[in-house]
Structure 1
């Protein structure tokens, strides 16, 4: 229920509680103004006694409603008794003085709340009888003209109240239907919020699992790299040094020492590359957009190729795993472009799209046949398969578009997971 609905309901409640008091007071003022206070007949004393009884009845019913909060507006036996007694008092008062028809009209306001079911029509008709009698000139009727006026007045009052009652029933029904609809929407929204919370928790759990799996994959990758590069280099160095130790020819010794030195430099380079792949230094002090911008600028200076970085959407502070994944994919894509593309221009675009982040690396190089990618990646390096594996570890995906002579486009799409502050 909205605030406006509650205000309207509170005003109706106040009208039903204080309306009979107001109509009774208006009737008393008009009756006294019309007859004066000099009359001390039995009729005068009876009238004041009934006014006192009406006030006592209103106080009793007011107290009953206060003891039954929320149920005072539901038809009940007590409400029916109150309505009947009030009508009887109003009828007698109207018989004594026609101005008390204002008090009798209070029966029009709350019959639907006091009388159950089809008996409401009877209650409205009884109130209409009292009001129509007063309108016809007061009761008892003393002339034929009053008897002639009474039926059409009764029909008019009854018909009007029946129409009002029917419209009020329809409005009440619509109100209840609207309340039920709002309640159902609230339940649906609560269920939807619960589902969203569960989905967020599941997503976080999947991210943790993907990160753990990524750590294991990264360890296996590093182990393979160390075995294929550094370990082989150290084995070659040992072999060269063994030859130097077993030879007496100074010239041959210098040649093998030179080979051992070259292998050591290559192994050192591989070690540095492996460490660089393990910990993205570029993200230590910058967010992903700044790190990508610097990476692209550094790559352009090293290669002499024109490279542009573009940011679209509103940048957000990403989870470190997402940032590291996209940065590594960009670095590997740039590395592949420098080794194989022979491009004149390259563009890197980072796009924030609601619940997703997209990274696109495009060049105008010589391109290649994607069907030959497995053979190319086995020749060394992290490769396209590794980039795709990185994206999949964080529930993302990587697509490749290339054609000989028409450049290459690498696109990675991953979920937008914000950094936990």
Structure 2
């Protein structure tokens, strides 16, 4: 059972190398390590890109032997299990030229989906020639370990970027929350509080007056001041949560906001909607309303657009929102702003999908798909 010892030896070598060097260095050194332990003449790592497998890293013991820059399956369904081929004609399918007579295919899997393949070759006899079919199972833990090494790096990088973005977003949210509290506090104290104090003082004066004509005249003025104060309280409340959204629903709230937006910016907005007769869940309505707010704000600030199209459709327990402008689009090197990132996080928390379609000099389309159950 020397083949078994060989495979176990490689598994131990790989585990030890991982603990000593870490993932990035192992990705570079693994083909060479594989050749040295398994006694292969060459080894290559291919990553799947659409229908092709693109060469990621290779090592050959001989200068004359090499691997193609891409490898495509020809008449072979790549298995999710390890495959060893000791027939030269069959093995030759996986190489473009060269001296290869044997080959080993180890799939790189992520969630049972093939993301790449390790392809090892031998120019002549191989130490694995005596490997029985059931002993191929010893290659499965090796395949899994290779998958962890090569198929999780981009996920880790994406998670780190997401963690960084969420940290920035959290700080911004905390800052905006504190600014919001400060603004409400100042509005209540400086505007509402002072007016109420003035009303109270004037009422005290009127209580002491016996001139009815004077009292009636002053009451008219107090009524006007009270009405203004009520409007100010409504304005503060509207900034916190629009009353129209609360009382009349999403369609009315959006139509009101769009009218105010068009009046203040001069940007034409066409609002198309389908199947909005019924009220939607509260969290969905606020997500859509804030998304439209943020989307229109971005158009006014950055897009250089003259018109915006908003499509809102409810169908089959799903809601689709699209906000498309005719502006200059988003610069490729520029990432989404924190406002859009905040909307994206709201959508993800609601188990929805968020994506942008960017066309340079033709505009940007914001897309949101939300489940309604």
Q: Report the structure number with the largest CA radius of gyration.
A: 1
| TM more than 0.5 | no
TM-score (normalised: structure 1): 0.34
TM-score (normalised: structure 2): 0.38
